[in-house]
Chains A and B, each alone.
Chain A
Amino acid sequence: MKPIMTPQEPTPALEVEHLRKCFGNFCAVDDVNFSVAHGEVFGLLGPNGAGKSTLIRVLTTLLPPTSGVARILGFDVVRDADEVRKSIGVIPQAMTSDLDLSAMENMQIFAKLYSVPRERRIKVAHELLEAVDLLAWADKPVKNFSGGMRRRLEIARGLVHEPRIFFLDEPTTGLDPASRVGVWEMLMRLKKERELTILLTTHYMDEADKLCDRIAIVDHGKLVALDSPLKLKASIPGNNILEVGFSRIPEGWLQTMQSLPDVLDVKAEDHVFRIGSDNGPNTTVALMEAVHRAQIAVTSLSVQSTSLDDVFMHYTGRQLRDSLQDAAPVLFPGMGQR
């Protein structure tokens, strides 16, 4: 896949060319190419073990690449690692705030690690804690915070040196639905106010759909598709997906399904068929008539608009939600366990 350059900006915020990161014979990131424009929210969508976190660790200088090039604001992540570190904010997957310290103390310690001048760090810390609705909790120990509050604090902490590019590794994993929505809204507000370029990894389709300008689907270390959520959905056959299960499968049933009106694509797995259709209601009526004629029973039926899960299924041959369950917790030397 060739780097995708976005017009308007001469130099992309982030460029990745033929990037590879291998642990022995296993390549967690395998010949990855893409670029991210200034002000863009770019998502890496894929199941656990797909290589998203390894890719983000290479881009944030935590792991050296095996081969290939990655540049942040034109700085090489290997040769100019210090310049890269000054330019980026990083929120790791694990919650890493110090529980014994207060929110403000956590902010101040990190501001000092980034050498933010004294008068500036106090002002910025106040502004950021206000932006993430934690100013009232500034002097409270973090151990009393909920998961959502800690995540918001970490997002504020990651911005304390006012970076231009912000990396978030699965920012809402482990949060309840209300907290997730809160984090999304806060991220969008911060992005707008601070003109941030954001790269985030997620295995939540709704998160990628809602937040990202463009999404790269990652599977087995490779980018299998990259575009805006709308274009990715439009790239697979049909506006609707019918998922239907039958009590038994008569002979020639796959051909019967393919001959239904408006059907573009049919995939069968055991007794369940996934039918891509341009007109879901029309195909459903015809499907019921075919079932009646064949004298079989429908055990399950759902009709949905095309989702990113369908996109993932289309490009990888399996569903994202299944991949999340199947993802083997395999760790390779140097990958780091959480």
Chain B
Amino acid sequence: MNRILALIERDLRKLMRSPTLIVVSMIMPLIQLVVLGYAFGGKIHDLRVGVVNQDHGMPTVKLREMCGAIAANARTFETTDYTDLQRALKDLRDGRINGVLNFPPDYSRRVLAKDAPQVALIEDNTDNFAVGALEGGFGDIVGAYNQGGAAPRVSSGVTLSVVELYPYVPYIQYLLAGSIVMAIFVSAMIGGGIIYIDDKARGLHEGYLVTPISRLELILGFNLSGAIKAVLAGIILTTVGSVIAGIPNPLDPIRLLKLMVVIVLTSLALISMMFLLMVRVNDPLVPRATFGVLNTLLYFPSGAVYPIYGFPPWMRAIARVDPMTYAVHAFKALLLKNTSITAISGDLAFLAIFTLVTTVAETALFKRSL
């Protein structure tokens, strides 16, 4: 045990002298949280729509007014009148506007005759997000227009009543779980990958190997010291990130305690995975070269930035064996829903078993000689 503690002591003393590891492992996830959180989290507004009115009848005026109301309030889009459809389409192709609303010449006649009147929304469908917002906005306008005057007191049709269990979750809060896992991963990557191989290349491990320390003591020493550093990064990002993302009651001690369990298990799982990947590596370039690949391969399929339900089957298969998936799920459950520990027991069990399996594998593969 003393030998394991000696390895941990050495690593923590180094960390205190040069806390670069913690700072570096936090900077990237924090930047990601803030930039991605706000980049994807906001509602789309201020789109520009050209309106070509070839009809000029009364029904077009009503729809035109409803568009004006949206431009004034929700500001999803603002309208510009065009007299020439061709010119409006040219501006759409050149990117000056995001869509064209065209009232055909017989629009009013068809409205009055109740003969399937149509108004065209011509979109630049290279931007799915803008298209979605425009279709949503105009769909609502057309729906309201079709209802005509005041709604009946008792609806005869079926309506869907949506009940939300939790307060509105902005995207930055949705992303926080992934950012915490990313901070732990970066710390594990640097502590368990880069520093480990650098020490090996500098001959520091040769110094350890000539002492009577056992293979298991070496593995446990490296894993635990790496995990402690990853836990520190996880704790800092959980608290700072919760404040930045606006998680309600971020310092709730019971939730922090439950989060601590997830942080520790995630750190152990990721550091043992990293040591397993690097256990036979001697070239300091390898962990640096694999960092980007591993990050992409583990982070994005984990459901940190987009729900797993939207993935193709092969990506779901990666997600099923990816420890980040279970960590992200557990963090989301605690941060966004403040669930009980039982609700995430499956995630915790996976992380614990994953740690055990990778530790056994790395102990078997670790060479107690040069």
Residues of chain A having any CB pair with chain B under 8 Å? 57, 60-64, 82, 85-86, 88, 90, 92-96, 98, 100-101, 105, 109-110, 112-115, 141, 334-336, 338
Contacts and interface: CB of A to CB of B under 8 A. Distances in A.
B14 A96 contact: no
Interface in B250-303: 282
**Interface residues of chain B: helix, strand, loop or mixed (majority):** helix
Contact of B210 (A85, A94, A95, A112): A85
8 contacts: A57-B370, A60-B210, A82-B212, A92-B203, A96-B206, A114-B212, A334-B370, A335-B370
Contact of A336 (B18, B207, B370): B370
A92 B369 contact: no
A92 B14 CA distance: 22
Given A85-B211, A112-B3, A62 B10 contact: no
Contacts of B9: 109, 112
Considering the complex of A and B, which 3 residue pairs feature the smallest CB-CB distances, nearest first? A112-B6, A94-B203, A90-B210
Nearest to A111: B6
A46 to B, nearest CB: 20
Interface in B188-213: 202-204, 206-213
A112 B206 contact: no
B17 A100 contact: yes
A113 B211 contact: yes
Contacts of B6: 109, 112-113
B203 A61 contact: no
Contacts, number: 77
A61 B210 contact: yes
Please indicate which of the listed interface residues B6, B14, B212 has the most CB atoms of chain A within 10 Å of its own CB: B212
A19 B360 CA distance: 34
Interface of B: 2-3, 5-7, 9-10, 13-14, 17-18, 202-204, 206-213, 282, 369-370
Given A101-B13, A112-B5, A94 B206 contact: yes
Contacts of A63: 369-370
A110 B210 contact: no
Please indicate which of the listed interface residues B10, B18, B202, B207 has the most CB atoms of chain A within 10 Å of its own CB: B207
Contacts of B203: 92-96, 338
A98 B5 CA distance: 17
Contact of B202 (A61, A96, A114): A96
A96 B207 CA distance: 7
Given A113-B3, A115-B3, A101 B202 contact: no
A110 B207 CA distance: 9
B369 A110 contact: no
A60 B210 CA distance: 7
Nearest to A95: B203
Nearest to B2: A112
A98 B206 contact: no
Contacts of A336: 206, 282, 370
A115 B9 CA distance: 14
A109 B2 CA distance: 10
A100 B369 contact: no
B359 to A, nearest CB: 21
Contacts of A85: 210-212
Nearest to A169: B206
A279 B14 CA distance: 62
A113 B208 contact: yes
A61 B212 CA distance: 10
A92 B206 contact: yes
A92 B369 CA distance: 14
B13 A100 contact: yes
A62 B370 contact: yes
A87 B349 CA distance: 44
A335 B2 CA distance: 31
A85 B369 CA distance: 12
Contacts of B202: 94, 96
Nearest to A161: B211
Contacts of B370: 57, 62-63, 334-336
A101 B10 contact: yes
B221 to A, nearest CB: 9
Contact of B14 (A98, A112, A115): A98
A252 B212 CA distance: 64
A141 B17 contact: yes
A208 B322 CA distance: 57
A123 to B, nearest CB: 17
Given A62-B369, A113-B3, A338-B203, A88 B212 contact: no
A115 B207 contact: no
Given A86-B212, A110-B207, A336-B282, 10 more contacts: A62-B369, A64-B369, A90-B207, A90-B210, A96-B207, A112-B3, A113-B3, A113-B208, A115-B2, A115-B3
Contacts of B211: 85, 110, 113-114
A80 to B, nearest CB: 11
A96 to B, nearest CB: 4
B167 to A, nearest CB: 47
Contact of B204 (A57, A90, A96): A96
B290 to A, nearest CB: 20
A86 B3 CA distance: 14
Contacts of A61: 209-210, 369
Given A98-B14, A109-B9, A115 B204 contact: no
B222 to A, nearest CB: 13
Contacts of A112: 2-3, 5-6, 9
Contacts of B206: 62, 92, 94, 96, 336
A294 B89 CA distance: 105
A211 to B, nearest CB: 21
